[in-house]
Structure 1
Amino acid sequence: MKLNCVIIDDEPLSQDVLEDFVKACPELKLVAICNDALEAGAVLKRESVDLLFLDINMPRLSGIGFIKSLKEPPLVILVTAYPEYAIEGFEIEALDYLLKPVAFSRFRTAVNRAVERFLAKEEKEVKHVMVRANKKNYRINFNEIIYLEAQGDYVRFVTEERALMVHGTLKEFLEQLPSNQFERIHKSYVISLGKVVYLEGNQVKLGEYKLPVSLSYKDVLNEKLKL
């Protein structure tokens, strides 16, 4: 397990220190280093991020203001030179509050808290979808799904064991699936990113299946497959 993390800090020296610390922790994967909150906002729109190492006092938009602007913010560890901001850290439910200069031992403690919180959150999260087909209710685990195909007023769920025709729309079912695991590739197809074998031209290979990829979805799919 690795937590995708982003460093948001406008000080190059602090960025370097945090980057070295992140690389020393096998549980962490550095997705990006951002100079301000606005740059970080763009990263969050295209990447799946689990944890932020966030400076508070930054130009244009403070770290606190940035977190408050997010509908579903990732886990947050505040990193700042100003101890007076500690109370504001509680307001956004920050996991920890690190004062610069940060010692690695203190950083390591904060990372342990993040890992524990993430695992606890995962245990509570729904990992399946319930569908009705053939007058029966089926539980389909997310990790069993290969792809979904729209067919008129129905959606065909193709899993490792079976294929089920379920009444509904692709959009409705896509909203029930985790965005970091599934992606729309065509007006008629949603795929499991974890099942992708390769992408070639305008086709994607998933196990024994080859599906078309629309040009309008190809860039997003390429970005997701880099994770």
Structure 2
Amino acid sequence: MDKITCLIVDDEPLAIEILEEYVKKVPWLSLKGVFDAGMDVIEYLNNETVDLIFLDIQMPDLSGIQVAELTKGKCDVIFTTAYNEYAVEGFELAAKDYLLKPISFERFLKSVQRLQVEKEAKADVKSDYIFVKVEYKIKKIRLDEIQYIEGMKDYLRIVLIDEKVMTLQSFSKLMPALPSDRFIRVHKSFVVSIDAIDSVEKGKIRINDQLIPISETYKEAFNKVLKDRTV
């Protein structure tokens, strides 16, 4: 079962502590970060991807509503708040749920279970290819032909078995289309196909003649994937 990656965004330490405890109790949730300010989340999502944000509404710099508007389409949102007057506005932003504080674990679990069911349903119908924009056309790319993807400023270079494709794209938009059990980010500038890895040596991944660095940010997650597949 693929884990749902998530962030907690709240300016109340007690609320954060409770949500952290709840996330730890659910084996298929993976907490990637905790933030107490909206701007920090927006900056994080410019470079990283997650499936879900537990988002407080009343915060000092940007409200949760504003954060949801600015990050719309990047991930799912479950609002967490002590005030129910924002519920209608929250659902207008297509929030997955609206949890009213104090949040019980039973209510929390019910909310995230619905997301897990949705994710599994999507995985069952996920295609073995993607479409990307290449110059003035849309190109079909088979996932089993992708060796690795390199970030190059505003572009991504998708290295296939027999060719290289440049697309005006960001990792944050592309990653949700790639199956997490087949592709993993190992560096701010690299995503690799797990099946394409030839070897791992001295903190670098070898794919054919290319050595790809593993950064400290992604090292732990990559090592876990490697350990799970090592006999």
CA distance in 2, matches of 1:71, 1:48: 13
Shift of 1:116: 2.0
Aligned to 1:211: 210
The size of the alignment, in residue pairs, is 197
Over the matched positions of the two proteins, sequence identity in percent amounts to 33
Aligned to 1:46: 47
1:223 is aligned to 2:230: no
Aligned positions of 1:24-173 closer than 5 A? 24-123=25-124, 125-129=126-130, 141-143=142-144, 145-147=146-148, 157-158=160-161, 164-165=162-163, 170-172=165-167
Q: 1:210 to 1:174 in 2, by over 3 A?
A: farther
SS in structure 1 of the partner of residue 117 of structure 2 = helix
Shift of 1:81: 0.1
Which structure has the greater CA radius of gyration? 1
Aligned to 1:134: none
> Is the contact between residue 184 and residue 191 of structure 2 (CA under 8 Å) also seen in structure 1?
yes
Long gaps (5+) in structure 2: 133-139, 151-157, 177-182, 222-231
Shift of 1:124: 5.2
User: Given the alignment, which residue of 175, 178, 194 partners 1:179?
Assistant: 175
CA distance in 1, matches of 2:206, 2:148: 11
Q: Which amino acid aligns with 1:170?
A: V
Aligned to 1:198: 200
Long gaps (5+) in structure 1: 132-138, 150-154, 159-163
Q: Which amino acid aligns with 1:24?
A: K
> Is the contact between residue 80 and residue 99 of structure 2 (CA under 8 Å) also seen in structure 1?
yes
Q: Which amino acid aligns with 2:160?
A: F
SS in structure 1 of the partner of residue 166 of structure 2 = helix
Instruction: Using structure 2 for the length normalisation, give the TM-score.
Output: 0.70
Shift of 1:45: 2.7
Q: 1:3 to 1:148 in 2, by over 3 A?
A: closer
Shift of 1:141: 4.1
Shift of 1:46: 3.1
Q: Which amino acid aligns with 2:68?
A: I
CA distance in 2, matches of 1:210, 1:198: 13
What is the alpha-carbon root mean square deviation over aligned residues? 3.5
Instruction: Using structure 1 for the length normalisation, give the TM-score.
Output: 0.71
Aligned to 2:8: 7
> Is the contact between residue 193 and residue 225 of structure 1 (CA under 8 Å) also seen in structure 2?
no
Deviations 1:43-86 (A, max 9, x none): 22333200110100111101111111125231111110001111
